[in-house]
Every structure is written in structure tokens, then in C-alpha cells.
Amino acid sequence: MRCPKISSRVLAPATFPTMTDPETFDVVVLGAGASGLMCASEAAKRGRRVLVLDHAKKPGLKIRISGGGRSNFTNLDIQPKCYLSGNPHFCKSALSRFTQWDFLERVVQAGIQYEERSHGQLFCTGTANELVEMLMADCRRHGVVFRFGTKLARWRGAAKGRMRWEPRWAPFATSLVVATGGLSYASIGATGIGYDIARKWESAVLEPTPGLVPFTLRGQDSRDLPTLAGIALQATVNFGEVSFTENVLFTHRGLSGPVILQISSYWSAGQAVLLDLLPGVDLFGHLKTQRVRQPLKMLRTVLLDHFPKRLVEVFLEVDLADRKLLTVPIATCKKRPPTASRNGRLFPVEPKAKQAEVTCGGVDCDAISSKTMEAKAAPGLYFVGEVLDITGWLGGYNLQWAWSSGWCAGQYV
């Protein structure tokens, strides 16, 4: 198939690149993000002529802001169970063929300094830009051509397995790799074009929803937030059968911190999550014991052994706080209504999605080959990275999925 060069001008909405140049490509990668850059360099290493298109002005914008600018680029403990998907087996093949160790080897070879943080998370010690430079250098070394400022604004679909661009309906490459990511952070260029392309090919798209997102509290639940904002402590959070124990952070609008981000990917709108602010400690049992051992000790003092002062003050009725244990009926030692729950430890919230780090849902993995990332119904059409219905936990899992899936497609396009 012929693939003339694509102009690099910024395209007006609903227009497509004009293909007038005789230069041809074997592979067009849509999206110069984590998965697209990995796929492009791998394909180019195999001698494929690769063109990467992106409407951003420079590559890897999400990589650059990931991990607060230091990029949590992978995790030492990558496991399929750390990924959410309608098809939980799908990620296994790619993750085992291009592993965290494979990516780490590249990082080391590129001379990028990194550090291990808690839970096996690996971060750059310099900046995330170094990763983008590493990927770009790899692409350029193998002749990948880039066109930035080029927006694919509309996809008119295709017929009988042939991909066509609007307005010319001219087939332009043997392979199109959709590496357009998820919907989060539209401010830096995220779009839903990947989902549109999948739908045109009659592939199902599981409803995209925000993942790894802080919770906003409303009404009574938000009443004490101005006092609590800034407090961070370890907590266990539960949603159905799923449970995480990590830090929670009270913010002016609600709850954040790793434990909240983790559970948010599992959470369904309108449902409550349970937050245990004293994981592993039987508070009532402890109070009962203390009541016998130190009956003259004030309730506030006992609770301060476990909770920050501001939290104790918010969760205890004022008149209770200064009473001696002996005079406090144990049953009243609960967080106050309506957030009160069993043992005074569970804290149901009505969370609302705000700014998500990733998008859950996406292109149905059942329609894609887990080996090649090619759409089963559309030879030559590939999906990699976050656009697929694969969402990793917080901790470097999403970037590793982008590297692994991009690498796999790069071996076949």
C-alpha cells in the first residue's frame, strides 16, 4: 500500500493530513506517547519504515509529568493481578515478553539514574524528560519519522479490512498503530479518537471511566474537611472484596493519597467505600482495656496515641474528649453521625471522580490478539497502551503496560 508523507501543519478539526509526498511508510503510529514511541522504535529496528503522528508539539507529554516529573516508570513487582480488565488474562503475554527488567536494562544503558521507593516503585532521580529523550534517541537512530502538530480529528472508518483516511479515502500504510492513550488530562492532548477508531471497526469499547483519582466528598461527609485538610495517615480502604492499606490524605475537597487512588479504579459511581483509619487495631477492645487499666486517663489522650490531634477533635464530641475513660460509655466512642460506622473505624464516603491519572475501560481486549496487539477483525490495525481496557495499579504499572504492549506490537507491525 502507498503511504505518502503527511504534512506537519496543525489540521483543522474534521480534516485529515494531505498526502502528497511520494515518501511511503510501512507503519503509521498514532500517538507519540509511551506505548507509541516504544512500538515505533521496535518496528524501525526491524527495518520497517515508521511514521509517528501526534497533535502535540512534542512527544511524551504524559511521561514528562508522570510521577510528579520524576516518572514512576516501572515496578519491581509487576504482576497480572495488578491490572484491571474485562479480560484479566490479556495482559499476561505482553508483560512476560517485555518485562520490567527489560525496560530497566534500557534505562541503565541510557545512563539514567533511578531510585527504588516503597512497594518496588522505580523513579528517575533526575527528570522524566530523560526517559522521553531515551525513547526518542532510539527512534531517531532507526530512522523513525515524526510529524507533530498533526491531529487526527475524525475517523471515517474503513471497509473490508482496509484502513482509509478522510478526505481522500486513500490507504496509506500496511499497519496503523493506535497509541492515543486514555481520556485523562485532556489539557495536554488526551482525546477519545482511539475509541472512535475501535468503534468504527466494530470493536467494543468498555465504558471509559476515571481511574487513580482523588475522591471529592459532599454534604455531611465534607463538613470537617477544612479542619482535616493536610492530615495523612495509614488507612485501609475497602470496596466490595477489594482492599488496600496505604496512606490516605485529607484534602480541602475530599480524600486523596495512594490508598484512595488505588481504590478509585475499582469504585463505581454512587457506591460507598469504607475507610478504616486504624487498620489492624481493635479500637473498642483497646478502649475497654484502657478503661480498666487507666480509668482516670482522658479519652482524648488515649486516642492521641493512635490519631493526629485534629482528627481526634473532629471525630469526638467536644464534651466527650475531656472526659475520663471511666465516665465514657464505650458505645459512644464512635465517629459522629452520619459518617459513623461500626467500631468507629469505618468511614463511608460518597466519592466523586475529579482529576484522574488514568482511564479505566477502553478497547475490549477480547477483540485484540494478546500476542501481537492486532485487532482480530481488522488486519493491520493495532491498539497499544492505555487505549486498551487495561488499567494498572498506582506504582509504575501503567507505564510498564505501555512499554510492554508497545514492544509486542513493534515485533509484528
**Under the rule (CB under 6 A), what is the footprint of ligand FAD?**
30-36, 53-56, 61-63, 65-67, 71-72, 151-152, 179-181, 184-185, 189-191, 193, 357-358, 385-387, 396-399, 402
* Shortest Å distance, C-beta 200 to ligand FAD: 14
- The smaller minimum CB distance to ligand FAD, of residues 40 and 278, is found at 40
Residue of this chain nearest to ligand FAD (CB atom): 33
* Shortest Å distance, C-beta 124 to ligand FAD: 10
All three cell numbers of 323:
472526659
- The smaller minimum CB distance to ligand FAD, of residues 9 and 218, is found at 9
- The smaller minimum CB distance to ligand FAD, of residues 120 and 348, is found at 120
Give the phi and the psi of residue 330 in degrees, each rounded to 5: -55, -40
* Shortest Å distance, C-beta 28 to ligand FAD: 11
- The smaller minimum CB distance to ligand FAD, of residues 33 and 410, is found at 33
List Cα–Cα distances, 227 to 148, 222, 351, in angstroms: 47, 10, 19
* Shortest Å distance, C-beta 180 to ligand FAD: 4
* Shortest Å distance, C-beta 114 to ligand FAD: 12
* Shortest Å distance, C-beta 406 to ligand FAD: 7
- The smaller minimum CB distance to ligand FAD, of residues 152 and 277, is found at 152
- The smaller minimum CB distance to ligand FAD, of residues 183 and 349, is found at 183
* Shortest Å distance, C-beta 210 to ligand FAD: 11
- The smaller minimum CB distance to ligand FAD, of residues 224 and 386, is found at 386
d(CA 143, CA 154): 28
- The smaller minimum CB distance to ligand FAD, of residues 47 and 167, is found at 167
* Shortest Å distance, C-beta 371 to ligand FAD: 19
